[in-house]
Structure formats: structure tokens, C-alpha cells
Structure 1
């Protein structure tokens, strides 16, 4: 019996798994407390009921031949012990499987990698800035081990950074982080401008007076593009 706390389901998307038509299964619960989090209702953990994953399985069965992939997102999906079994069932149904994670549990991620087809790894910041942004000490070292595991695996993956100009980021910080990732061997990278319609911390919904214009971020992406095979700006 698989217990997963399903927080939501996006039935069809072309954005969450590059070059694939996918659905996204959102799982409840996350150990991080990023102020700009746009899914604050998914942060508090809870125990899943058996019918929740069964409902998702029935949906997936109805989408065979229509969808190519299933992405597990959150929250932080690697928080849940039932995830490997759910991935196994999803693969058995003929779907590719993607995972969105911030990498706080590197050992769990390493065990999942042989079952996965693609990973989107959130990179909150560089070094100790990661902990400051996510509101939890010691996460950046765990995240570093997750990145190493992905680099060593040979699996297709993307790193992505959500940029919110309040307190933490300047253009130079973003550039330094991107170049550090490129030097580590990251080939696919995306910069995402934070959504401000709803945030965990209401202060992050307010305009930032000294925020650089989007054109400046676009110019940075143009400068950085030679360092990556694929680099996107999402806003």
C-alpha cells in the first residue's frame, strides 16, 4: 500500500519536463522555508491516505498514449518514503519519470536516480546564501552532495535558480552562481523570476525598489549562454 500526500495534479504541461508532454504530481510537505515560495499551502507535511495515490494511478491509466512523462514535484517529493514505490508503478505503466527537488536528502536522491529519466534541481544560492534563502541551516552541504550525485550519474538534469531581488540577490550574485555551476559541469540551467502573487512571506509579494529591470537579467543570460548547452530565462 503506497501512501503519498498528494497536494495537487497538473494534468498536462510542456514546461515541467523539457521537450516532453507531462503531468505533474505535487506532494505535500517541505523542510525548507523560502520566503518567496509560491506554493506555501504545500509546505506543512501530513500523512497520505491510500486513496490519494490510487486516484493518481487511475488518472495515469487513462492517459496512456497521451502523456509521455510524469513529474513528481512539491513541496519536496524526496521527503516521502512511498515515493520509490510510486515511481516504480509509474515506470511500469510506460511513462518516463521526472523529479523536481531542492536536494535536501542526497542519500535518498542517489537511491532514486537509477529509476529516474530527468531531474530538475533547485539551486537557491551559492554556499551559505543557500541556507539563508531557504531558512534552514546545513542544507547547502546536502544540496552539494545531491549535485555531485547527479553529475556522477550521467542522468539528464537541469539546475534552476529562482531570483527574487529582496535581500538576497544582485545581478553579480546571479552571475557568480551561474559561473560556479558551469565550472562544476552543469550544462543545462534556467533562471526563473519569482512569482509574487502569493508567497510564504507576505513581504516578498511587495515590489522591490532597487530591483534591476528584466532587460538587465536578459542581458546577463546572453552573456552566460556560451557557458551552457542550454540556458533559459523564465518569467
Structure 2
């Protein structure tokens, strides 16, 4: 039987109330991402060839001590679906009695498809209008991969939050309105606007540009979503 590589872990948050809204979770930050979004506040997690900072055995030892104290575990990143051993890692976490959430941008639809039966919740990061993804991710064709992944998520029935990080220098109100219309047609109920956070952002120019949002305009856009809201911080 082939040996499955352990996931490379770039960080561990022992307690979070915002990474899976409504749940008390630990968040595992996986190392590596195929995209390089300018607003990323975890740029140290982007290099896929960088070794993880925390051994997987230490993560499991920590989770063993938190059994019965946490509602679940979120695999975040970076991009967790980059990890070849993610399916097995999720299985181990579920065997410990935890519900499992996933943060993903959807760059690997085929891998995501295999994970869906094992997930309780997904936070899907929509970067831009699908036709304009490369402007944010730096990778041609990334929008088509994200579109396919979102379609799978919606068909699966897994509890889903679609969220978009917004900096006015990258996404206009018109961009957001178009995205909201597309998501509404697809049947998305929970669309969340995340305000840009300069902390940790490696793009010095973006971090110093005005990032305040037009609250009135965005409020009008979000009104079409029964569970939509703006997340600050």
C-alpha cells in the first residue's frame, strides 16, 4: 500500500470563533497555494515548496487534548486542497470526533469532489467575477476552476458560505454587483463581504491605498442574500 504524505502545516490557531461562524474550532493552516492574490494576509503560506512549521503528529496530539472542548476543525491555508494527504488527514480528524470545515478557493475541482462527502461546512473564497480571476490570482484559467468547484459545492448540499475579500483598488462596486447577480442566480444564500486587512499583506502599495468600502452601495448589493453580511476584521 502506498504511503500517503502527511499534510504540511504552516500554522495552527488553537481557538477561533470566526473561521467557521457559529462554531468553536481549531484552525489548521496548510502550507502552499497555487495562486498569489495581492491582498493575501498569509503570504508566507503561498510557497508550495516550503516545509511546514508544525509536525502533523503535534497537531494530532493537540486535537487529542481538545476532544469534547471544540465543535470542529477547519483546514485553511494557503490552499488545503493542494495537500495530497488531505483526505486521510480529514478522516483522522473525524475519527477523533470533530466536525470538519474547509476554506478553499477551488483551484482543484477534482480533489474537492473527493473531499465533499467528508465535509460539514465550506467557506468558498470567490476572488472576482469568474472571467476576471487572473487579475487577482495571477493564474490564467483560475476562474474556470473556481466556477467548477462552486458548482460542485452547490450540488453537494454541504453547508456553504461564499465570501469575497474586497479592496476598492482591485474590485469595483460594479464587479461586486455582477458577482452578486451571478451568485443569486446560482442559488447562493450566504454571501459575505470581507474587508481588506493590511496586517500581513506583502503588497506594500495595496496596504497603503485607501481601502474603505462604500457601505451604502455594498449594503444594496448584499440585500439580495437572505444570510449575507459584511465581515469586518
Pair in the same fold by TM > 0.5 = yes
Does the Cα contact within 8 Å between 1:77 and 1:101 map onto a contact in 2? yes
| Equivalence for 1:207 | 209
Name the CA distance, whole Å, in 2 between partners of 1:169 and 1:48.
33
Name the CA distance, whole Å, in 1 between partners of 2:95 and 2:217.
42
Tell me the CA shift for residue 53 of structure 1. Answer: 1.0
Give the counterpart of 2:217 among 217, 220, 228: 220
CA RMSD of aligned residues (A): 1.8
| Equivalence for 2:187 | 185
Instruction: Indicate the SS of the match to 1:26.
Output: strand
Aligned residues: 229
Tell me the CA shift for residue 220 of structure 1. Answer: 3.3
| Equivalence for 1:151 | 154
Tell me the CA shift for residue 52 of structure 1. Answer: 1.1
Contiguous gaps of at least 5 residues in structure 1: none
| Equivalence for 1:95 | 98
Name the CA distance, whole Å, in 2 between partners of 1:223 and 1:101.
27
Does the Cα contact within 8 Å between 1:187 and 1:230 map onto a contact in 2? yes
Name the CA distance, whole Å, in 1 between partners of 2:223 and 2:5.
44
The range that moved more, 62-71 or 197-206, is 197-206
Tell me the CA shift for residue 221 of structure 1. Answer: 4.2
In the TM superposition, 1:62-81 aligns within 5 A as 62-81=65-84
Structure-2 change in CA distance of 1:222 and 1:205 (3 Å) = closer
When normalised by structure 1's length, the TM-score is 0.92
Does the Cα contact within 8 Å between 2:41 and 2:198 map onto a contact in 1? yes
Instruction: Indicate the SS of the match to 1:229.
Output: coil
Answering whether residue 57 of structure 2 is matched by residue 54 of structure 1, we say yes
Give the counterpart of 1:169 among 144, 168, 171: 171
When normalised by structure 2's length, the TM-score is 0.93
Tell me the CA shift for residue 137 of structure 1. Answer: 0.5
Tell me the CA shift for residue 201 of structure 1. Answer: 2.3
Does the Cα contact within 8 Å between 2:173 and 2:218 map onto a contact in 1? no
| Equivalence for 1:234 | 231
Tell me the CA shift for residue 48 of structure 1. Answer: 5.5
Give the counterpart of 1:113 among 112, 116, 119: 116
Contiguous gaps of at least 5 residues in structure 2: none
